[in-house]
Copies of this chain bind each other. A is one copy, B any other.
Amino acid sequence: MTAMARTRVHNFTISLDGFGTGKGQSRQAPFGDADLSMLKWFDGRVIHGIDKQPDIPAGPERVLSTGWGQGIGAEIMGRNKFDPTPGEFDESWQGWWGDAPPFLTPVFILTHHRRAPIEFANGTSFHFIDATPAEALVLAKEAAGGLDVRIGGGVSSLRQFLAADLVDHMHLAVVPVVLGRGERLWDGLDRLHERFDVQSVTMPSGVTHLTFTRR
């Protein structure tokens, strides 16, 4: 018997007031004006999950973050996570990640604009699709070959997947800062907790990790 493939979210970081990014996202400022307060938590342990830096202690927060890469066969991300510049694509931009994006799987990027796929030597590939969350999930599950699909964000695409009840497991990292503005994860998700078993733990870093497991 094979377990059903799941749709998962990992290491998704928000402020105490629920913002995943600040205002004014750009290629220079991927988290907008939130950079200064949020990025001090993004030291590679939290954002990458799996990494090859043996000098970083395998403390509980790092181990928790490694769920990000385990058993994942594809990712779906919103346009802004790949490129916050609106409109037609500038084909010279291939994301923030250089020649070796850390995904190592097919990545489906939700956009109304057309662009040819991009393939990298490390197994990452970017596919630009104009699809609803449910349609994208069908494509991603096919590409994942029985492994799980990760919803990579940003905020507005994650919110759409949650509103459509397409998420089986979600791990959030709540950073103790009050941003006051930006893209709020919780908007329109009244009573979300009723569909999930919610668990929580605060790490010595001060970050509170929440896991939502679909009931």
- Complex CA–CA separation, A193 to B201 (angstroms): 20
Q: A18-B17, A18-B18 are in contact. Are A200 and B208 (CB under 8 A)?
A: yes
Q: Is A192 an interface residue (CB 8 A)?
A: yes
Q: A181-B190, A202-B202 are in contact. Are A210 and B176 (CB under 8 A)?
A: yes
Contact partner of A199 (CB less than 8 A), chosen from B16, B188, B206, is: B206
A193 & B18 in contact (Cβ 8 Å cutoff): no
Which residues in chain A, 95-141, are within 8 Å of chain B measured between CB atoms?
Answer: none
Closest chain-B Cβ to A19's Cβ sits at a distance in Å of: 9
B180 & A188 in contact (Cβ 8 Å cutoff): yes
Which residues in chain A, 171-215, are within 8 Å of chain B measured between CB atoms?
Answer: 174, 176-181, 184, 186, 188-193, 198-202, 206, 208, 210
A176 & B193 in contact (Cβ 8 Å cutoff): yes
Q: Is A85 an interface residue (CB 8 A)?
A: no
- Complex CA–CA separation, A208 to B207 (angstroms): 11
* Residue tally, chain A, CB below 8 Å to B: 27
A178 & B191 in contact (Cβ 8 Å cutoff): yes
- Complex CA–CA separation, A191 to B179 (angstroms): 6
Q: Which residues of B contact A177 (CB under 8 A)?
A: 191, 193
Q: Which residues of B contact A179 (CB under 8 A)?
A: 190-191
Q: Chain A residues in contact with chain B, CB under 8 A?
A: 16-18, 37, 174, 176-181, 184, 186, 188-193, 198-202, 206, 208, 210
The 4 residue pairs across chains A and B that have the minimum distance between CB atoms: A180-B190, A17-B186, A178-B192, A176-B198
Q: 20 A–B contact pairs at CB < 8 A?
A: A16-B18, A16-B186, A16-B210, A17-B18, A17-B184, A17-B186, A37-B191, A176-B193, A176-B200, A177-B193, A178-B190, A178-B191, A178-B193, A180-B188, A180-B189, A180-B191, A180-B192, A199-B206, A200-B206, A201-B202
